[in-house]
């Protein structure tokens, strides 16, 4: 009975096996694959497409380029390399740069978001040069600190990872290995974005 349902559903498939697809061996397929393999595995490709797709990404990509241009990032202040919880008193300090922007610019999904070891919502209390301080409103995962300090690479100032931090603004932040994951996984708090956090870190 179950297989019968499966077969009936399969008959509704608009791309069933009788519809031809392009073989991997055709010249145009080979060209596509060779083009892809000729790119460096860490090459920034999203920035090239971003202007068409998502205005926010433009800022991120620009910022990512800036990180590279400035050359390096400020090291994470604590020893907490796994980005784990920092209990109570001292603020948690996070690096807001990245040595490999592409590695973080993976496609957004709730599943991917759920893998972040550190996630919180916070309100910016101060923006001073390359340092942004947030009061944590809610920890979704991985921390207990009441305050989080983000350190941007020199010259980045308030535009950390392409996110325009403003005093009094509320932001959703995730971090890996003590570094803010800004590529679509951190940003100003908005209902839809917050719902994704709630779903990702439920239970």
User: Rule CB under 8 A: which residues touch other proteins?
Assistant: 1-2, 4-16, 19, 21-24, 29, 32-33, 36-37, 39, 41-42, 45, 53-55, 102, 106-109, 111-112, 114
Of residues 29 and 125, the one with the C-beta less far from other proteins: 29
Backbone dihedral angles phi then psi of residue 194, each to the nearest 5 degrees: -65, -40
- The pairing of beta strand 92-95 with beta strand 163-164: unpaired
Q: 91 and 167 in contact (C-beta within 8 Å)? A: no
Nearest one of 189, 97, 183 to 138, comparing CA atoms:
189
Question: Radius of gyration over alpha carbons of the chain, in Å?
Answer: 21
Of residues 133 and 174, the one with the C-beta less far from other proteins: 174
CB 73 to other proteins: min, Å: 21
CA distance 66 to 104: 16
CB 52 to other proteins: min, Å: 9
Of residues 155 and 164, the one with the C-beta less far from other proteins: 164
CB 58 to other proteins: min, Å: 12
């Amino acid at each position: 009975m179950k297989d019968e349902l499966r077969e009936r559903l399969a008959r509704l498939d608009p791309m069933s096996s009788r519809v031809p697809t392009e073989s991997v061996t055709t010249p145009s397929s080979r060209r596509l694959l060779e083009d892809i393999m000729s790119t460096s595995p860490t090459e920034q490709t999203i920035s090239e497409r971003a202007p068409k797709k998502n205005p926010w990404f433009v800022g991120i990509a620009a910022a990512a380029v800036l990180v590279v241009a400035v050359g390096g990032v400020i090291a994470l202040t604590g020893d907490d390399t796994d980005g784990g919880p920092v209990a109570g008193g001292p603020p948690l300090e996070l690096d807001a740069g990245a040595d490999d922007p592409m590695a973080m610019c993976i496609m957004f999904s709730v599943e991917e978001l759920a893998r972040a070891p550190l996630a919180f919502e916070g309100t910016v209390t101060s923006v001073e040069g390359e340092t942004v301080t947030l009061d944590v409103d809610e920890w979704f995962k991985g921390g207990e600190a009441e305050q989080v300090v983000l350190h941007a690479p020199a010259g980045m100032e308030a535009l950390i990872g392409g996110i325009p931090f403003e005093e009094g603004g509320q932001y959703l932040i995730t971090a890996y290995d003590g570094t803010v994951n800004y590529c679509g996984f951190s940003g100003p708090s908005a209902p839809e974005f917050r719902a994704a956090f709630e779903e990702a870190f439920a239970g």
